[in-house]
Structure 1
Amino acid sequence: MTSIELDIWRGEWGLASVDSECLKVLTYMKFIGVPVRVRESNNPFFTPKGRLPVMRDGRTVLTNFEEVIEHLKTLHYSTDVHLNTKQAAEASAFTQYLSEKLLPAYQYAWWVDEKNYAELTRPTYAKALRIPFNFYYPSSYQTAAKEMIDALYGEHTDLREIEKTIYSEAEKCLKTLSDRLGESEYFFGNRPSSFDATVFAYLAPLVKAPFPNATLANHVKGIANLTRFVARINQKNFRHVTDEYNRQNAKKQTTGTQSEREAANFPHQTRNKLLAALFAAVAMTGYAVANGMFQDLKDYEHAQDYNEMFENDEDDN
């Protein structure tokens, strides 16, 4: 079992991975406790489909979440064994519902919205890639997302109308999820399922990522039980990631605060130095006057004038 390897996109913002598909597989593996070696990849070029995640178990190479679930079942690892027939059917129906209503909105927010793509998505993925792949893959993924949206909403010509329709459907889906979860820890009892991994993978990036256009993200954040759901799973399964993120954030804030204090104190420090120099000059002047140094200097200057006068007279002679 220790031979299982999982290649994923790197994490950001306290997430184990910035990519929903990677997060889905990784979270599921955390749920079932399967021994796995996780590697952050910076080049999906040699993967079977040019995408991540990729799970390898010996000669078995899988890139699809459902295939990963089935393969792990053969190794006697599964989170869904506690589901009865009715719950399993409900989970399957909800998964399809998410695919139809929430996934398009997620893809739109990440890849199609131009402001989000330019300021968040593309830089995030490009940061994780090597040159020249950082120029190719983000635009390639964006093209695939646009094709998906066009296939679903091609009858609309106005992009704003498409956005409004997509987000409206997503909000209804989120409301249904919220109602289904209620105050429970998970969607089906007190144990996590593959459906919980799927929901978490869609919601966590929306909650954590700093979207410039945060229309969908803000709606998720406004639903209390779903944001608590994300926080619980993140803390329970990826605590080392969240702790490291919080530690780095605290360090940045401390450094920033110190820099701000130094910047704020700079005018006062300069003023104090100038006042100190002025005080020293005044003190030295007072000391000099008190000791007759100025009189000596005046006498010296007069002597110099007389000498020059005598020298001039001698020259004239």
Structure 2
Amino acid sequence: MSLVAEAFVSQIAATEPWPENATLYQQLKGEQILLSDNAASLAVQAFLQMCNLPVKVVCRANAEYMSPSGKVPFIHVGNQVVSELGPIVQFVKAKGHSLSDGLDEVQKAEMKAYMELVNNMLLTAELYLQWCDEATVGEVLEDVDQCCQALSQRLGTQPYFFNKQPTELDALVFGHLYTILTTQLTNDELSEKVKNYSNLLAFCRRIEQHYFEDRGKGRLS
């Protein structure tokens, strides 16, 4: 999206309050939704929950074809349609809701670096499991372990990655880790890597209980 287009969307978004009938679209649950798309959808849901913005989740067989960008998940808010976490974060920010405004510039840069790490390593692992990419299983699992180690060290004993308040990084990490931990796969090596880090497990449980109280009734308990 060009800078002019972004500015135009931001201007439109800022003039309208968040509606009660905002809708998030994703593929049908079960066999149709891909691991990576499920993680992406959950990340957006977590982000909106953290912003205290209501959204109804609708599963459609043709969700990706309904999206103007061909990407899922996407949200329908008023007369606006926005897909993927990054653009949705900017769209929501234009409406006056931001999880990262309290961070200084150094922290914001650090947050973006960790988000890139998650997208480069965890997303790659999910895509490998979907499409059997050329990378070997061992290399993929090693990348996942390195990513989890870095996230675990950054989180430490804090409730969230940047102290006491969640940011879009927390939403993104939760989306990917929770999906990996709760999706039944033919091989459990991926989830076992995540389970090696107790503070990441506690982090996922904390967000599940706080923001998804009725989701799966404690699938990580």
Structure richer in helix, relative to its length: 1
Task: Give the secondary structure class of the aligned counterpart of 2:154.
Answer: helix
2:24 is matched with which residue? 6
Aligned amino acid, residue 52 of structure 2:
G
With the length of structure 2 as denominator, give the TM-score of the two structures: 0.80
Task: Give the secondary structure class of the aligned counterpart of 2:215.
Answer: helix
1:81 is matched with which residue? 101
2:123 is matched with which residue? 103
Higher relative contact order (CA 8 A, sep 6+): 2
The CA distance in 1 between the partners of 2:102 and 2:28, in whole Å, is 32
2:168 is matched with which residue? 194
The CA distance in 1 between the partners of 2:70 and 2:139, in whole Å, is 31
Of 207, 231, 234, 2:205 maps to: 231
The CA distance in 1 between the partners of 2:48 and 2:93, in whole Å, is 12
Contact 1:211 1:217 in 2 (8 A): no
Within 5 Å, which residues of 2 pair with 1:1-317?
1-2=18-19, 3-9=21-27, 19-44=38-63, 45-109=65-129, 111-113=130-132, 149=133, 159=134, 162-243=136-217
The CA distance in 2 between the partners of 1:240 and 1:92, in whole Å, is 30
Task: Give the secondary structure class of the aligned counterpart of 1:240.
Answer: coil
Aligned amino acid, residue 171 of structure 1:
D
- For structure 2, the 5+ residue unaligned runs are 1-17
Report the count of equivalent residues.
Answer: 196
Give the share of equivalent positions with the same residue, in percent: 25
The CA distance in 1 between the partners of 2:92 and 2:136, in whole Å, is 39
- For structure 1, the 5+ residue unaligned runs are 114-148, 150-158, 247-317
The CA distance in 1 between the partners of 2:72 and 2:216, in whole Å, is 22
Cα offset, 1:38, TM superposition:
2.7
The CA distance in 2 between the partners of 1:25 and 1:205, in whole Å, is 13
Aligned amino acid, residue 105 of structure 2:
T
Cα offset, 1:235, TM superposition:
1.2
Contact 2:72 2:83 in 1 (8 A): yes
The CA distance in 2 between the partners of 1:86 and 1:59, in whole Å, is 35
Cα offset, 1:93, TM superposition:
1.0
What CA deviation, in whole Å up to 9, does each residue of 1:57-107 have, x standing for no partner? 222111121111111111111111121222111101111122222221122
The CA distance in 1 between the partners of 2:104 and 2:66, in whole Å, is 40
Task: Let me know the Cα RMSD of the aligned residues.
Answer: 2.2
Q: Note closer, same or farther for the CA distance 1:40–1:245 as it changes in structure 2 (3 Å cut).
A: farther
Runs (4 or more) in structure 1 with deviation over 6 Å come to none
